[in-house]
Amino acid sequence: DTGVSQDPRHKITKRGQNVTFRCDPISEHNRLYWYRQTLGQGPEFLTYFQNEAQLEKSRLLSDRFSAERPKGSFSTLEIQRTEQGDSAMYLCASSTGSNTEAFFGQGTRLTVV
């Protein structure tokens, strides 16, 4: 499978716990994006990387959220001290360049109880 891969697909966690998600982009794609989608809404941009550099972060990304992309390959998104409002689908996408098509992974559905 050469598409965008996300792991895990589902995560249930207790409020206050930390969680980490992983995204493996399409191999030749140098741009990687994280989005969050809640029920009935479209995906909302969180952050994006070009290679290993994190170039933009949304104001939605509070201090509890951190993302990394070491070596410009896979990326991780960590949420510290999870809150019930963090429950959402976390989507990763990748693309080859500016204003080109972005392809999404299967998403990680987070439920905070």
CB of residue 29 to other proteins, shortest distance in Å: 10
70 lies in the site for other proteins, by CB under 8 A: no
Cis link prior to 8 (omega < 30° from 0)? yes
| Binding characters for other proteins, 26-45, by CB under 8 A (x = yes) | -----x-x-x----xxxxxx
Q: Per the structure block, which two tokens stand in for 50?
A: 């070009």
CB of residue 40 to other proteins, shortest distance in Å: 7
| Binding characters for other proteins, 93-112, by CB under 8 A (x = yes) | x-x-xxxxxxxxxxx-----
Q: Where are the beta strands (DSSP E) in 8-112?
A: 10-13, 19-24, 31-37, 44-50, 53-57, 65-68, 75-79, 88-95, 103-104, 108-112
21 lies in the site for other proteins, by CB under 8 A: no
Q: Which of 30, 20, 27, 28 is nearest to 5 (CA)?
A: 27
Which residues bind to other proteins, rule: CB under 8 A? 31, 33, 35, 40-45, 48, 50, 55-56, 89, 91, 93, 95, 97-107
